Structure 1
Amino acid sequence: MHADDSAGEPAEHARFARHLTELEQVADADEIELVVGVLADPDPVMARAAVVRHLDRRAAELCRAPAWEEWAEVMARLVTGHPFLVRRLEEWALFRAVALRLPWHRDDLLAASDWFQLKAADGTNPEALRLLAESGRTKRIRNTARESLGRRAEG
Structure 2
Amino acid sequence: MTGRNDAGGLPADDEHQRFARYLQDLAQVREENEVDLVSVVLRDPDATMAQSAVVRHLDNRAARLLTDAGFPDWAHSMATVIGEREFLIRRLREWTLLRSITMGDPWTPEDLATASDWFQRNAAETLTSPAALTLLAGEGRTRRVRAAAGRRIAQRQQ
| 2:124 corresponds to 1:121 | yes
TM-score, length-scaled by structure 2: 0.91
Contact 1:136 1:142 in 2 (8 A): yes
Equivalent of residue 143 in structure 2, options 134, 139, 144: 139
TM-score, length-scaled by structure 1: 0.93
Please, which runs of 5 or more residues in structure 1 have no aligned partner? none
Equivalent of residue 78 in structure 1, options 65, 70, 81: 81
Contact 1:3 1:11 in 2 (8 A): no
What letter is aligned with 2:59?
D
Q: 1:95 aligns to what?
A: 98
What letter is aligned with 2:141?
R
Within 1, Cα distance between the matches of 2:151 and 2:82? 35
Alignment of 1:5-154 (within 5 A): 11-122=14-125, 123-154=127-158
RMSD: 1.5
1:81–1:3 distance in 2 versus 1, CA, 3 Å:
farther
What letter is aligned with 2:79?
A
Deviation at 1:10, TM superposition (A): 6.5
> How many residues of Structure 1 are paired with residues of Structure 2 in the alignment?
150
Deviation at 1:2, TM superposition (A): 3.9
What are the superposed Cα offsets for residues 50-101 of structure 1, whole Å, 9 maximum, x if unpaired? 0000000110111100111110001011111100000000000000011111
**Equivalent residue of 2:45, what SS?**
coil
Within 1, Cα distance between the matches of 2:87 and 2:70? 23
What letter is aligned with 1:151?
Q
